[in-house]
Amino acid sequence: MAGKIAADPKFPRAVTRMLVNGLTGKEPLDAPMNGTQAQLDAYVAERTLLNAVRAEFVRDNYNLKTLVRGILLSPYWRAQGLTAATGASAHQLTGSSYLLAPEQLDRKILSLLGFEWRGSLDSYYKDVTSDYTSKLNTTYHQIYGGINSDSVTTRLRTPNGMMGAMQLRMANELACYAVPHDFWLPANKRRLFLFVDHTMSPYDASGQLNASVMLRIRDNLQYLHKYLLGEELSLQSAELAATEQLFMAALNRGRQLIRDSGAEWSMVRLQSDCDRTRDLQGVELYQKSVSDTRLMEDRQFVIRAWMAVVAYLLADYKFLYS
């Protein structure tokens, strides 16, 4: 039976199609019906390449490694030397771009932030040895396109409205947890804030912008784009300028609210889900050492301005897709 299946010309075609989808997140193009010349060019270019890769797979006695290597080294994976003037129509869908599965996104969050999306870090110790408490592996697993290999066997690859709302909630919650936590850590153990501290406001005592602090803020914004999104941005880029504007808008709005309230405790303290009063093992921070290392207030609104930036980046397409 296996020999008959392998002898069917549709077998290598199906295997190739499956691997292209798995590696790039896209199905191979179908022949366009009454399409434009650009669509026809894209289809012919892709089909010619995949036919050659599939033929090599068959010649090598159906060696799957040969097929994987052919796809990974193809122009559709690497797009080496591709510019706006070189085959733009044929390569309009080039590259890998697919929504991360909940398990993949969970591992990415753990790798980059050092913890899973569970809830307040002050309560993290309750399940610190468990791997089933992550929201992406439990509560939101199937909502976010996961499968259970029983009643749900097909993954969602295109986000719907509920998934989009969940992405925004995740970004806001993780920023709430990650930013104070990172500032609370010793400088040599931080992941997010290598150039700034939570006491570092861009305004000096007279209310004027401090140029040296602004340089450090821009350096950290540039670093966050690279660390979270993999973007190599220059300090003069439009993307970095937009993120800086977001940081300053959040900071200025928060500072005004604090001033208007007369610096009431409810305005200067961090939300209870965001502050740091326990370590990840559940030990109260004021009991760990002679000094009180809890992080509970944000009198200059600096921490919360950085939360806005991190939430903005975590909700970005480049964080949620691969």
Establish if 86 belongs to a structural domain: no
Residue 119 sits in the same domain as residue 151: yes
- Category of 145 on φ-ψ map: left (φ > 0), alpha (ψ -120 to 50) or beta: left
Task: Clarify whether residues 73 and 22 are in a common domain.
Answer: yes
The predicted-structure confidence for 199-209, as pLDDT tens digits, reads as follows: 999 999 898 99
Q: Does one domain contain both 135 and 243?
A: yes
DSSP assignment string, 120-170: -GGGGGGGTT-SS--TTTTTTTTTTT---SSS--S---S--HHHHHHHHHH
pLDDT tens, residue by residue, 33-59: 887 888 888 888 888 888 888 889 888
Alpha carbon distance 281, 289 (integer Å): 15
Whether residue 92 lies inside any domain: the answer is no
Q: For 53-108, how does the pLDDT look when each residue is reduced to its tens digit (9 = 90+)?
A: 888 988 888 898 998 898 888 876 665 555 555 555 555 555 556 788 888 899 99
The DSSP letter of residue 60 is: T
The pLDDT, as a whole number, for residue 1 is: 65
Q: Residue 119: which H helix or E strand, with range?
A: none
Q: Are residue 69 and residue 137 in the same domain, yes or no?
A: no
The number of distinct structural domains making up the chain is 2
Question: What's the chain's Rg over C-alpha atoms?
Answer: 25
Please report the pLDDT score of residue 155 as a whole number: 67
**In the listed set 33, 62, 78, which residue is the last one of a domain according to the structure?**
78
Give the pLDDT band of residue 32 (cuts 50, 70, 90): confident
pLDDT tens for 242-254 read 999 999 999 999 9
pLDDT range class, residue 176, cuts 50, 70, 90: very high
Cβ atoms of residues 25 and 98 within 8 Å:
yes
pLDDT tens, position by position, 106-132: 999 999 999 888 877 777 766 666 655
Whether residue 74 sits in one domain with residue 109 = no
Same domain for 23 and 148: no
pLDDT digits (tens, 9 = 90+) for 185-195: 999 999 999 99
Last residue of a domain, one of 78, 112, 127: 78
Question: How confident is the model at residue 137, as a pLDDT?
Answer: 82
Range of the domain at 74: 2-78
pLDDT score, position 175: 97
Q: Are residues 46 and 169 in the same domain?
A: no
Residues 131 and 53 in one domain: no
Residues 115/107, Cβ–Cβ less than 8 Å: no
Residues 198 and 234 in one domain: yes
171 in the same domain as 233:
yes
Compute CA distances 118 → 110, 124, 128, 132, 212, whole Å: 11, 7, 10, 10, 37
Asked if 107 and 153 sit in the same domain, the reply is: yes
Whether 274 and 188 share a structural domain: yes
